[in-house]
Amino acid sequence: MRTLFLSVTAGLASLTAATTLWADTSWPAPIQALVDQGLEVHARFEAPGGLDGFAASHRGREMAVYLTPDGEHAVVGTLIDAQGNDLSAAPLDEHVGSVQEAQVWQALEQSHWIRDGDPDAERILYTFTDPNCPYCARFHEQSRPWVEAGRVQLRHVMVGILRQDSPAKAAALLGADDPVAALQRHQDSEDGIEASAQPREIEEQVRANNQRFEGLGLMATPTTYFRRDDGRLEQVQGAPDEARLIEMMGSPRP
């Protein structure tokens, strides 16, 4: 089972519940007992051996539940066949993992970010950036060849978490007349942008980004999300090594 979204907190889990819960609320008694304890059921699927399978999650963690043929008992866990194959992974990936990935990407799209690169670039990466983060500056420098070649667009989700003046600096960047140019000057300068008061709307944008950062269970900046060539979502924390950087950017160094 992949671990990308095991740290997603109740905030994202609530979003999942609101949009993807299986519509049938006439639960068999054992399933209802689990729902009462906080389990979220996303889909029902056919399982071998006369079992009914339920793709579920609890606080963002994927889990499979199997209802026995008599409808009186439920088992939480991984179903294995005689050859040792995991029969739970595929339905969980289809009904929970891929859905959560789509919701995370949508949440990133709706965050408050600064575009860095060609608006028509084929590859888009979202990266949580604190103005006081040296590793964010390093990642910004690492990405230059792909960004300047028009291959990649970085979307900097500005957060303020590292220092006392980080929120005000993030707001100053979001509220600049030209946020793209302001971010570039900030990354190129030793001193960077100065913290300054911004309209309440801009300060609220930073707070919303901070809440999204925490809601995703993130701990460090930069944390970057990108889609692999197969469409699946990947998360990278910190400034990547060269091999990981090429994977993120989707092509060899220009």
Residues 183-201 have pLDDT tens digits of 999 998 877 899 999 999 9
Distances 219 to 7, 12, 114 between C-alpha atoms, Å = 10, 16, 21
* Residues 40 and 154 occupy one common structural domain: no
pLDDT in tens, 108-134: 999 999 999 999 999 999 999 999 999
* Residues 138 and 238 occupy one common structural domain: yes
Measure the CA–CA gap between 227 and 124, rounded to whole angstroms.
8
pLDDT of residue 193: 93
* Residues 144 and 194 occupy one common structural domain: yes
Domain residues for the domain of 68 are 10-100
Q: Mean pLDDT check: name the lowest of 27-31, 62-66, 166-170, 228-232.
A: 228-232
pLDDT of residue 18: 35
Answer yes or no: is pLDDT of 93 > 90. Answer: no
Assigned domain for 185 exists = yes
CATH number at residue 20: 3.10.450.70
Assigned domain for 62 exists = yes
pTM (2 d.p.): 0.75
Band (pLDDT 50/70/90 cuts) for residue 25 is low
Assigned domain for 3 exists = no
Cβ–Cβ under 8 Å, residues 249 and 146 = yes
- String of DSSP letters for 170-225: HHHHHTSSSHHHHHHHHHHSSS-PPP----HHHHHHHHHHHHHHHHTT--SS-EEE
* Residues 50 and 147 occupy one common structural domain: no
* Count of domains observed in the chain: 2
Helices 200-215/166-174 angle, 10° precision: 120
* Residues 119 and 197 occupy one common structural domain: yes
